[in-house]
């Protein structure tokens, strides 16, 4: 499937900032499931800084805007050719060992309810069958947290989302990671895009899911929000321990005042 992305993020500052520095993880990952046809990240008036591929295999770029800065717009456009690998991250080169993803963060720290959810989901599945256990965990999270916006915030933790019983893709991913960690399965958070089809199964173009590490297969993606493993409708950008660590845009603004952010994302299917 050939997918075209148009993703615009605008930050507005009042009063103007003395300067803004951002780190971008906005370039599609390199693996067998996707090939970049063309891609551009534009920030008007910004100075380009260092760019590098980090230990997780993600491409990171930095930009700097000198003040006074009233507005910063990051515009991502491009086309990616994708194929369905049934969620397996095949051919992705990274240096960070999977075992490093066994540590929880504030967002993914398990509580007693998460531990009980995880244990109940895999009670009848042998410890050796990690893939089946991973699928069972994803199904359990989808059953426990109904997809619905307006109930959680960016800072909501996995434990809080499970207690509420409602959440969005971020909450599903954090809770699935937390469940996996209770069973000593390495797990991480993934940011990317999802092509929204007309059948209503896809919820949002800018999307997040989790990857769990399975011996002999490697990293396998699980999208509990849509009850599937990522297929050709998905574009993978990058990963991290949680939503903050994997954020496509991270930044620091110098100066006091208010900040507003507008985001628009469009994913369309292009002709081959």
What is the per-residue pLDDT across 42-53, written as a single tens digit (0 to 9) for each? 999 899 999 999
216: exposed, middle or buried (Cβ count in 10 Å: 0-12, 13-18, 19+): exposed
Per-residue pLDDT, 204: 61
Handedness of CA 231, 234, 237, 240 (dihedral sign): negative
Which residues lie closer than 8 Å to 184 by C-beta, 6 or more apart? Answer: 102
- 113 CB neighbour count, 10 Å cutoff: 15
- Please tell me whether residues 70 and 88 are part of one structural domain: no
Per-residue pLDDT, 230: 96
Element (H, E) at 174: helix 169-182
Q: How many residues does the chain have?
A: 272
- Please tell me whether residues 50 and 102 are part of one structural domain: no
Question: What's the alpha-carbon Rg for the chain, to the nearest Å?
Answer: 19
27: exposed, middle or buried (Cβ count in 10 Å: 0-12, 13-18, 19+): buried
Per-residue pLDDT, 197: 56
How far are the Cα atoms of 13, 27, 44, 257 from residue 66, in angstroms, in the given order?
Answer: 13, 24, 12, 17
Per-residue pLDDT, 205: 79
Q: The CATH number of the domain where 196 resides is what?
A: 3.10.620.30
Per-residue pLDDT, 196: 75
Instruction: Tabulate helix, strand, coil % of the chain (nearest 5).
Output: 20, 45, 40
Q: What is the pLDDT along the chain (272 residues), one digit of tens a residue?
A: 999 999 999 999 999 999 999 999 999 999 999 999 999 999 998 999 999 999 999 999 999 999 899 999 999 999 999 999 999 999 999 999 999 999 999 999 999 999 999 999 999 999 999 999 999 999 999 999 999 988 999 999 999 999 999 999 999 999 999 999 999 999 999 999 999 755 545 556 789 999 999 998 999 999 999 999 999 999 999 999 999 999 999 999 998 888 899 999 999 998 76
Query: Chain centroid to CA 8: how far?
Result: 17
Per-residue pLDDT, 11: 95
- Domain with 122, as residue range(s), is 84-240
- Please tell me whether residues 13 and 27 are part of one structural domain: yes
- Please tell me whether residues 171 and 200 are part of one structural domain: yes
Q: The CATH number of the domain where 12 resides is what?
A: 2.60.40.2250
- Please tell me whether residues 232 and 154 are part of one structural domain: yes
- Please tell me whether residues 228 and 264 are part of one structural domain: no
- Please tell me whether residues 209 and 95 are part of one structural domain: yes
- Please tell me whether residues 99 and 225 are part of one structural domain: yes
Q: Which residues pair with 80 in a beta bridge?
A: 3, 36
Name the residue among 68, 77, 24, 37 with its Cα closest to residue 267: 77
Mean pLDDT of the chain, nearest integer? 94
- Please tell me whether residues 254 and 235 are part of one structural domain: no
């Amino acid at each position: 499937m050939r997918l075209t992305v148009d993703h615009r993020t605008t930050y507005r500052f009042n009063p103007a900032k003395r300067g803004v520095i951002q780190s971008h993880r906005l370039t599609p990952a390199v693996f067998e499931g996707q090939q970049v046809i063309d891609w551009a990240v534009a920030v008007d008036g910004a100075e380009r800084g260092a760019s590098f591929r980090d230990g997780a295999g993600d491409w990171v770029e930095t930009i700097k805007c000198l003040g006074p800065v009233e507005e910063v717009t990051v515009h991502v456009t491009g086309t990616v050719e994708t194929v369905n690998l049934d969620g397996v991250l095949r051919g992705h080169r990274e240096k960070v060992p999977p075992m490093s993803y066994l540590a929880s963060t504030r967002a993914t720290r398990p509580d007693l309810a998460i531990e009980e959810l995880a244990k109940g989901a895999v009670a009848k599945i042998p410890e050796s069958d990690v893939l089946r256990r991973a699928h069972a965990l994803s199904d359990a999270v989808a059953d426990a947290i109904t997809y619905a916006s307006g109930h959680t915030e960016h800072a909501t933790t996995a434990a809080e989302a499970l207690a509420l019983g409602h959440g969005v893709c971020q909450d599903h991913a954090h809770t699935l990671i937390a469940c996996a960690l209770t069973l000593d399965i390495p797990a991480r958070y993934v940011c990317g895009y999802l092509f929204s089809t007309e059948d209503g199964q896809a919820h949002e173009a800018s999307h997040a899911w989790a990857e769990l590490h399975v011996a002999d297969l490697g990293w396998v993606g699980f999208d509990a929000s849509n009850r599937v493993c990522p297929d050709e409708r998905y574009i993978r950008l990058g990963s991290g321990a949680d939503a903050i660590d994997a954020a496509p845009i991270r930044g620091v603004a110098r100066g006091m005042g208010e900040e507003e952010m507008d985001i628009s994302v469009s994913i369309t299917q292009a002709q081959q």
